[in-house]
Amino acid sequence: MIPSAFDYYTPASLDEALQLLAEHGDDAKVLAGGHSLIPAMRLRLAQPEKIIDISGLRQSLSYIKEENGVIKIGAMTTHYQIESSDLLKSKAPILPEAAGVIGDVQVRNWGTVGGSLVHADPSSDLPAVAMALGAELVLQSTRGERVEKIDNFFTGILETSIEPDELLTEIRIPTPTGKKTSYQKLANKASHYSVVGAAAVVGMDGGKISDVKVAFSGLAEMPMRFESLEKALIGQAGDDASLNTACAGFASGVDALEDLHGSQEYRRAMAEVYAKRAIKAAISNN
Amino acid sequence: MAPNAMIGSPIKRREDPRLITGHATYTDDMTPAGTVYLHMVRSPHGHANIKSINVDAAHKIPGVLAIFTGDEMKKEVGPLAAVSVGGHPIPDHFSIASGKVRCLGEIVAAVVADSRYHARDAAELVEVDYEPLPAIIDMEKAYKGESGLVHDSIPNNLAATLEFGNDVTDAFKNAEIVVEQRYVNQRMAPNPIENRVVLAQFRTGDESLLITTSTQIPHILRTLLSGVLSIPEHLIRVVAPEVGGGFGCKLNIYAEEVIACYAAKKLGKPVKWTETRSEGMVATIHGRDQIDYIRIAATKDGMITGLDITAYCNMGAYLQLLSSSIPVLCGVICNGAYAMPAVHFKALCIYTNTTPTDAYRGAGRPEATYMIERLVTLLAHRLGMDPMELRRKNFIKDFPYASPLGLMFDSGNYATAMDKAMEIFGYDEMRKMQADALKEGRYIGIGQSTYVEVCGLGPGQGMTTARGYECATIRAELTGKVTVFTGISPHGQGQETSFAQIVADNFGIPMEDVIIKHGDTENTPYGMGTYGSRGTAVGGGALMLAVDSIKEKAKKIAAFQLEANAEDIVFEDGKFSVSGTPSRSITFQEVCLKAYVDPKMAPVIEPGLEATRYFEPGNFVFPFGTHLCATEIDADTGDVKILKYIAVDDCGNQINPMLVAGQVHGGLTQGIAQALFEEVVYDENGQLISGTLMDYTVPTASELPFYTLDHTTTPSPSNPLGVKGIGEAGTIASTPCVVNAVVDALRPFNIDDIQMPLRPEKLWKIIHQGTQNGNGHGAAQSVVQQHFGDDNK
């Protein structure tokens, strides 16, 4: 990699990292797993003046635990750690399922959940999954700590509500006890990012869908849910006929992404297909 | 393993341990003391005048040693070399543009600095004032002259017109059926895993140049560099060290090689240039990019009576070494495996404001095979015949077969390979399964390709500008070990293994006692290099001749030592003995020792045991086979799944079946990738849409099916080993096989063609919107009819 010149900081503690962010946040990029930032720097699409490498926090910020019905995942936890976590496999299997389809083994060994969320690539898998799970994000700075709901976190392509001096330290997910879940995606065959992916978290009551969240990756500028879709799904049995009706047309007005791998029209249609596939897979899954 | 048992054995590649443990030495692994680094300033425009270049700011970056521009360099260095087929003009192509840029990524300045970082930082500060011009991208429009000229001196942007075959007028006039199509063979980026890298060292004092470069043709490159740089050939040494794949794109002389040499001479320091992957997408040649108008004439019972093709071949902005030669390799084999009395092929080679095209795995034969295999299947469909039966009817059966296009097909056994493939595939059961699936609304298709290709370049009389031979030096060492110097330049093909098998078997010695050297002009005889599936077919021929020469001299030595006549010496199991008296014998190793040390032989036999031989085959070789595949289309998404892929290939005698399988696997992967995934896409301004591997789809194993391989063996009569090239066959055969399968699956939607690559969205549109709206379909019939006019009505 031949990037442009930058100053390089390696904080050894969270306090030190937050201090550096307070000082340099406007000119700095945080380097975690590096799988989004480094390619951008390599192409000089990103030319940050300062890099704050938080690999020194890997020890303290990579963990997966459950406390009082809330799953807590440290921001430096790698995709592979999520993919292989026994706790998640039993309590929130959609996370290992989705983490397992990110990139390839090398990417999963380096990429972090915090990096993926903060980078906010609309075609990444975990942001949509976190959204379907109703995650909350713990953002820390020298000014203190705040907790952001994921529905308010993403603001555009590669844009979030995180402040320049803030660091994402933890992802909190209400344990989806009793929920049926699945993440299904149509992968871009070049990059293995999603052309369209759907994360479904479904509650069933008496054979009918009683509550549901479906979040989409790859479809639009940020991961998104559709109120009309989720409303239409309530009370359905989840068979083909009912899903066809409930999933018809919800994405028709969305300002979809467009590239070599799919036009807007195709992405909208695939959103319907993958909503159905994710819900069907969820219902038959757990 | 016992001697004499190695040929035909699946021996593991000797190259692999160093490659997979990271001990191989590629060009970029070499950094002599004092090395400085080259970085190119490249055009961000597809077509523009260069009004001015200001390098002042760039010079202020610390460590910058020199910044070269085109105007300055062309005073001392000539244009890059290219082959002219039949004398067409070659517009000047200077290593650094001067006055005008004609494609995205063309070099406008070259910066040398003490580190890669400084070189790149400085390159960003080179200010070039461009006057953008309309880019000429669409080659059919370029030919009509609708969009301006790439080179002012070349009207209609027509680089060359090439024509082969005989008169087809009557064939089409009298035809009972004519089928016409327009096929697009999209542009591809070769993408070897090792990008191009150059290290140039100039020795002031003896004025010699050492260039280490990732090339397939060290000797040819040396000659070409000598001409371009005006440095005498004997003062240049070219080394191709470990080369990480080429696929034809390293069969060239590149601007960066010339600039590195020029800079090394100017600065008196080692100069290194390492291509980045994104840079390679524009700076390294592309392949394919051909639009074919093709029509076939036949009788109602399916006998082909004529074939007529006009091919628009996109050369890009300049002619690289073999740009206009690739359509020749397409034209001569465009009849495929079918006998037909009348064939006509015309290629229009067109300039556009895009990266030059040149050889890419298969080089011309994939284009030929794609169109004939697609069209023959369509003809069968129109006639209501099974596509395999129509093929069987038309196969060339009598060999040698002189085709109207000028080739002499020396051998073949097409129906046998087809029968074997159909049996393994379970053709009839698969057809039944396809019909049953359709009743359930599932779209399964069966595709086929009964290809024949022409390779092993090549016979002297078959080449256009140079003889087509290969060479080998065998040196039996004093201790009985054997060093082989070959003129080919393997970069993944595995001849360090297969050539050692051949030599070990022939001398009856352990394979470990043989080493194969290649890729250094200082110690190998002048060879043509590795391309066109020629390494074993031609290089192996030279090796066998050298083996014979060594044996001949060894027999004389043995005769002297055994006090017998040379004619009475027989050589078996590593021992020379007197015929009829096996106890009077001497080993190969003893002969080697005597050859160098025995003073008693001084008056009689010249010392040493070494031979250099050249082999120039009398003909090409013609590998063939049948590939069959079944695909299923996901009706909801248009995604293609390959359910089954069977390849039965005939490459003659197999030296090492494991190497053959490796070559077929790689070839299939690249051919399937052309059908389904890969495509270089420019927009109308000449900007690259598919500029990185995030958008240019090089498949991984997860996108590909399991391959079932088998073979038939029809030895080639054209070389001593009876072998035929297998490096390109998989690529050549598989592309039409997969597309035929997908088109077959979507027959219920009444389509004849889908333009590659078969991205899911194109198929989804066919399924969900019918044949009228989908933008991925082949050309409207009106476009094709317009091309052929009323000629065959």
Angle at B518 between CA B513 and CA B522, to 5 degrees: 115
Average pLDDT over residues B353-381: 98
CA pair distance A96, A87, nearest whole angstrom:
10
Question: What local confidence, expressed as pLDDT, does residue B429 receive?
Answer: 98
Contacts of A260 in chain B (CB under 8 A): 679, 681, 689-690, 695, 759
Question: What local confidence, expressed as pLDDT, does residue B775 receive?
Answer: 44
Residue B326 confidence (pLDDT) above 80: yes
Q: Are B482 and B505 in contact (CB under 8 A)?
A: no
Question: What local confidence, expressed as pLDDT, does residue B457 receive?
Answer: 87
Positions of E strands within B617-706: 624-633, 640-650
Q: Cβ–Cβ contacts within 10 Å for residue A190, how many? A: 21
Contacts of A42 in chain B (CB under 8 A): 276
CA pair distance B332, B343, nearest whole angstrom:
10
Position B3 confidence tier, pLDDT thresholds 50, 70, 90: very low
- Cβ of B703 and A189 within 8 Å? yes
Question: What local confidence, expressed as pLDDT, does residue B219 receive?
Answer: 98
Which of B278, B694, B768 has its CB closest to that of A191? Answer: B694
CA pair distance B565, B578, nearest whole angstrom:
8
Residue B1 confidence (pLDDT) above 60: no
Position B791 confidence tier, pLDDT thresholds 50, 70, 90: low
Average pLDDT over residues B448-477: 88
Asked if B689 has any chain A CB less than 8 Å from its own CB, the reply is yes
Tell me which residue has tokens 């399922």. Answer: A97
Q: State the smallest CA–CA distance between residue A122 and chain B in angstroms.
A: 14
Question: What local confidence, expressed as pLDDT, does residue B773 receive?
Answer: 40
Contacts of A4 in chain B (CB under 8 A): 121, 124
Contacts of A40 in chain B (CB under 8 A): none
User: To probe the interface with B, which of A191, A266, A268, A277 has the most B CB atoms within 10 Å?
Assistant: A266
Q: Cβ–Cβ contacts within 10 Å for residue A78, how many? A: 21
Residue of B276, B256, B278, B271 whose CA lies nearest to B115: B271
The Cα-based distances of B664 to A115, B660, B726 in angstroms read 41, 6, 7
CA pair distance B752, B766, nearest whole angstrom:
11
Position B792 confidence tier, pLDDT thresholds 50, 70, 90: low
Per-residue pLDDT reduced to its tens digit, A249-260: 999 999 999 999
Angle at B334 between CA B331 and CA B337, to 5 degrees: 145
Distance of alpha carbon B399 from its chain centroid, rounded? 27
3-state secondary structure of B343: strand
Instruction: Please compute, for residue A136, the number of CA atoms within 13 A of its CA located in the half-sphere on the CB side.
Output: 11
Question: Would you give the DSSP letter of residue A234?
Answer: T
Average pLDDT over residues B363-391: 98
Q: Are B473 and B543 in contact (CB under 8 A)?
A: no
Position B464 confidence tier, pLDDT thresholds 50, 70, 90: low
Query: Beta strand B575-578 with B581-587: parallel, antiparallel or unpaired?
Result: antiparallel
Q: What is the pLDDT along chain A (286 residues), one digit of tens a residue?
A: 899 999 999 999 999 999 999 999 999 999 999 999 999 999 999 999 999 999 999 999 999 999 999 999 999 999 999 999 999 999 999 999 999 999 999 999 999 999 999 999 999 999 999 999 999 999 999 999 999 999 999 999 999 999 999 999 999 999 999 999 999 999 999 999 999 999 999 999 999 999 999 999 999 999 999 999 999 999 999 999 999 999 999 999 999 999 999 999 999 999 999 999 999 999 997 5
ipTM: 0.95
Positions of E strands within B469-513: 470-476, 482-486
Distance of alpha carbon A126 from its chain centroid, rounded? 3
Question: What local confidence, expressed as pLDDT, does residue B5 receive?
Answer: 78
Hey, which residues does B223 pair with through a beta bridge?
Answer: none
Question: What local confidence, expressed as pLDDT, does residue B786 receive?
Answer: 79
Q: State the smallest CA–CA distance between residue B106 and chain A in angstroms.
A: 18
Amino acid (1-letter code) at residue A24: H
Contacts of B120 in chain A (CB under 8 A): 2
User: To probe the interface with B, which of A42, A104, A106, A189 has the most B CB atoms within 10 Å?
Assistant: A189
Question: What local confidence, expressed as pLDDT, does residue A285 receive?
Answer: 78
Rg (CA), chain B: 28
CA pair distance B177, A127, nearest whole angstrom:
58
Q: Work out the burial of residue B150: count CB atoms within 10 Å of its CB; fewer than 13 is exposed, 13-18 middle, 19 or more buried.
A: buried
Position B770 confidence tier, pLDDT thresholds 50, 70, 90: confident
Q: Work out the burial of residue B583: count CB atoms within 10 Å of its CB; fewer than 13 is exposed, 13-18 middle, 19 or more buried.
A: exposed
Contacts of B690 in chain A (CB under 8 A): 260
**CA torsion angle for B638, B639, B644, B647 (degrees, to 10)?**
100
Residue B755 confidence (pLDDT) above 90: yes
Per-residue pLDDT reduced to its tens digit, B441-460: 999 999 999 999 999 987 87
CA pair distance B517, B520, nearest whole angstrom:
8
Hey, which residues does B38 pair with through a beta bridge?
Answer: B112
Question: What local confidence, expressed as pLDDT, does residue B788 receive?
Answer: 82
Question: What local confidence, expressed as pLDDT, does residue B488 receive?
Answer: 96
Which tokens is B22 given? 């990271």
Distance of alpha carbon B107 from its chain centroid, rounded? 25
CA pair distance B487, B471, nearest whole angstrom:
5
Task: Report DSSP letters for A41-55, one per residue.
Answer: HHTTS---SEEEEGG
Q: Are B353 and B102 in contact (CB under 8 A)?
A: yes
Which chain B residue has its CA at the smallest distance from A6's CA? B117
Position B289 confidence tier, pLDDT thresholds 50, 70, 90: very high
Question: What local confidence, expressed as pLDDT, does residue B719 receive?
Answer: 95
Residue B487 confidence (pLDDT) above 60: yes
Hey, which residues does B164 pair with through a beta bridge?
Answer: B345
Per-residue pLDDT reduced to its tens digit, B116-169: 999 999 999 999 999 999 999 999 999 998 889 999 999 999 999 999 999 999
Question: What local confidence, expressed as pLDDT, does residue B2 receive?
Answer: 45
Which chain A residue has its CA at the smallest distance from B765's CA? A266
Residue B771 confidence (pLDDT) above 70: no
Average pLDDT over residues B701-721: 96
3-state secondary structure of B337: coil
- Cβ of B761 and A263 within 8 Å? yes
CA pair distance A101, A183, nearest whole angstrom:
9
Q: Report chain B's mean pLDDT, rounded to a whole number.
A: 95
Which tokens is B163 given? 């024509």
